[in-house]
Amino acid sequence: MKLFPTIAKAWNAFVRQKKLLPLIVLIDILFVYGMTRLSAEVLSRAQEYVMKLTIMTTQQVQEIAESEAVQASLVQSQEFLTLYHQLLKYVVLFFAGAFVVWTVGKGLTWYLAHRTVEKKVPARVFALKFLGMTAFWFAAFVLLTFVALSLFDYVLFGVFPLIGKASANALVILLYWILAYFVFISYALVPHKAFKQTFVLGVLRWKELLPVHIVGSLIFFVATTVPASIVKLSVPLSFAFIIFLALPSIAFARVLWSTAVHEVVKHAS
């Protein structure tokens, strides 16, 4: 499978099913709105508790010299425990809400991407498989985030860190990019093979799929960074770019992924 014929095939399918594009753009707009509202409502409240806990900890440090005594004093404080539990509650609420919004929003857009490539995609089977895959990748994302935070903590506060901040940033970005590579393969595989085929194809057919991931990543990068630059000049122009260029481009990237994986599966069978 060559890259440019795959792009051409994906574009032809995208154009043939252009009647689905307004619906896809609308779903993506609702998805962005849902994630924005979730962040504003939940994370803003979580931030309040973080600030209160930070102030309380600072006050205790000023009063007590020994770190062990500070920790014991905080653990015994009912106010501290209440604030800490509230913070955990909002963190859990955010991740649960993000999982629901992502599953519904991205599930619909990926379903329509498959409908663009193939006419018949069983909705119920797709929904169940997509839900299971999303649960797995969501857990992997959370785990990778904890690893990234631990790495930054090591770089910033370690005695003699072996890597610098720039190297840590590059490594974390690379890890998230690799994670996205397998996520997109699995989502494009939903109507086809079992979930384990994600890693089989991702590793054995990387020469065919990695170029597609690079193209899709470039499309996503341009679609998300250009509006941020345009908004400084004109807010309406930035919104117009998002609706008429950015979101349709991201929709095409999903069709490109689906087409590429479908072609690989077809030639492998």
Query: Using an 8 Å Cβ cutoff, are 151 and 172 in contact?
Result: yes
- Enter the pTM of the model: 0.85
Cα–Cα dist 62/231, whole Å: 44
Surface-to-core class of residue 176, CB atoms within 10 Å of its CB (0-12 exposed, 13-18 middle, 19+ buried): middle
pLDDT, one tens digit for every residue, the chain (269 residues): 689 999 999 999 999 999 999 999 999 999 999 999 988 888 777 676 666 656 666 655 555 444 444 455 555 566 666 766 777 777 888 889 999 999 999 999 999 999 898 767 788 888 989 999 999 999 999 999 999 988 888 887 776 778 888 899 999 999 999 999 999 999 998 876 667 889 999 999 999 999 999 999 999 999 999 998 898 889 899 999 999 999 999 999 999 999 999 889 887 66
